[in-house]
Structure 1
Amino acid sequence: MYKIIVASHGPMAEGMKKSLEFVMGPAENVTALCLDEEGISKFSKEAKRLLDEQDTEEVLVMVDFLFGSPFNEFSKLAAGYAGKMEIITGVNLPALVEAVNCQEDGSSMETVIPQIKEAAVMKTLREILAEEESGDDDE
């Protein structure tokens, strides 16, 4: 089973984990890591510690911004990580819920990445209604 690390600028990662647990219950295989006012040095040390604890497992890191500090720090650590690691940018709650659902199903990280990315897509109400209408025509 892969582990999930949610990392963000500010408290967003902690808030996402709390929201996830509100919806799904305890999320023992999800860790939140926030870059706060204590700076990048503390964040980097904590990121390394989290990965050292996982050393041989699959780890899915979900970050807020592409090329933001959390992404950059985990990218640096990826080269030295002994297990499998993937980083997804643009984390949102639907993507996190999908990642946890797949995790609980026992799916491998590699196979669920497309599902997680699909769950992360933003849609408007009009788009959803249009998709439903076009689906009705096919029946």
Structure 2
Amino acid sequence: MRKIILASHHNLAIGMKDTLEYIIPTVGDITAIAAYTTNMPVNEEIEAALADITEKDEAIIFTDLLGGSVNQNFTKYLTYPNVHLIAGMNLPVIMSCLLPLGDAAIEPEQLRLAIQEGQQQIVYVNDYLTQQTLDEEDE
């Protein structure tokens, strides 16, 4: 079994899940944790989301902030062999990680490459367009 979890402070994870399901309707079952929006402590929300995970299962978890309380509460699950925790979620990174998923368990190197691809989508567009204009003038 594979679990995909998006977790954030407040409602970012819910919006991200909604957007992913719109763009990639076949992405699979995604759990969103919007921490601190209910009276339930974040560690209890995480425990509930991972309650049925075993050492044979796989979990790919995306959180909003490295070092944030949401991310920190997931780190105790890294003792499981197939739990992958990625901090700094954004749509390009998540899509790069999830699109190539097949039935086999994902390898850490696949995630590393997908994260690099997603990071390349983070661009200061002012500079990007200026460079495109300069390149066109050179031709």
**Residues 50-109 of structure 1, C-alpha deviations (whole Å, 9 max, x = no match):** 223222212121100011111110013333x3x421211110011111122022475624
- 1:114 maps to 2:112: yes
Q: What are structure 1's unaligned runs of at least 5 residues?
A: none
Q: Does 1:53 align with 2:52?
A: yes
Unaligned runs of 5+ in 2: none
Residue in structure 2 matched with residue 29 of structure 1 by the alignment:
29
TM-score (norm 1): 0.77
How far does residue 30 in structure 1 lie from its aligned partner after superposition?
2.1
Equivalent residue, structure 2, for 1:98 = 96
Partners in 2 of 1:36 and 1:11 — Cα distance? 9
The answer as to whether partners of 2:77 and 2:83 remain within 8 angstroms in 1 is no
Distance 2:17 2:4 in 1: 11
Structure having greater relative contact order (Cα 8 Å, sep ≥ 6) = 1
Q: Please give the root-mean-square deviation of Cα atoms over the aligned residues, in Å.
A: 2.8
How many residues of Structure 1 are paired with residues of Structure 2 in the alignment?
132
- Partner residue, 2:19: 19
